[in-house]
Amino acid sequence: MNFHSKPHTYVGQVHLLVSDLERSITFYKEMIGFQVLEQTKNQAVLTADGTTPLLTIEQPEGVQPKQPRTTGLYHFALLLPNRKELAKVLLHLLQNRYPMQGASDHSVSEALYLADPDGNGIEIYRDRPADMWNWQDDQVFMDTRRLDVESLLAEAEGEVWTGLPKETVMGHIHLHVADLRATEEFYIQALGFDIVLRYGPQALFTSTGRYHHHIGLNVWNGVGAPAPKPNSVGMKYFTLLLPNEESRVATVARLQQLGAYVVEKNGIAITRDPSGNEVHLLV
């Protein structure tokens, strides 16, 4: 099942602020495997298939370092089409001795964790088939076990890493927020996501179409955490792709009814969640 196409609502791309554009371009090309789709003096649009933008990196004027204990990006997650591609990524990172932050088996998926040179979090993962996921009512079972690295590496079968496969998509995004209750109202009531997993009072996983999660939300940086400064390293915004114009119009109406910030610019509806995370609504 394809959870990243119509009629689902899902993350399309992420826009990051970085401190050194050329350094970040080198990292995202050589370590992650993106291609540059477009480039200007202060930003680059990155793609896996040569046509679809997945990540934009921008060096703003007066950029400031990443601020700790704020809301914003925890990680963005690149979904690979199969286990062999994940194995090739792992082998590539090990061969280049790039520092990793973790490697986990989540039952629904297998995932590698790292950060870019500015500390922006990245997950690279593959899903197990959806018919292997375990559900209890409307809650999906997710675990965090040690990844079987030996088994994964064997999957590469000697094939050489050549970058991100063209089928790569932005699988999900995970955000730091300041208040889970207000956040739940925004993403569930206004944006139309469903809660698929609760981690007590600390985190929520949400999705459409019974995916294990399109958006993760947590208060691990502290309840009431402030938003970062506009020109600090981190996430500028992310996009949500809605199935059609009618859905977009209805979503904007729900946001307005909720009293959320929402404006229209060049045919794009721009909103912010209660923690200041900016979301662009596209079709």
Beta-carbon contacts of residue 263 (< 8 Å; ≥ 6 apart): 269, 270, 271
Which residue pairs from 201-210 have beta carbons closer than 8 angstroms and sit at least 24 positions apart in sequence? 204/180, 205/140, 205/142, 207/3, 208/3, 208/8, 208/9, 208/10, 209/1, 209/3, 209/7, 209/8, 210/130, 210/135, 210/140
What is the distance between the alpha carbons of residues 235 and 278, in angstroms, rounded to a whole number? Answer: 9
The pLDDT value given to residue 1: 61
Domains of the chain: 10-282 (3.10.180.10)
- CA 160 vs CA 84, 87, 163, 199: distances in Å: 11, 10, 9, 38
Supply the pLDDT for residue 23.
98
Q: In degrees, to the nearest 5, what angle opens at C-alpha 181 toward C-alphas 178 and 182?
A: 70
3-state secondary structure of 93: helix
pLDDT, tens digit (0-9, with 9 covering 90-100), for 212-244: 999 999 999 999 999 999 999 999 999 999 999
Interatomic CA distance for residues 278 and 260, integer angstroms: 11
Residue 5: predicted pLDDT: 96
pLDDT, residue 40, reads 97
pLDDT of res. 158: 86
Tell me which residues of the chain have a pLDDT lower than 70.
1
Q: Where are the alpha helices (DSSP H) in 28-107?
A: 83-95
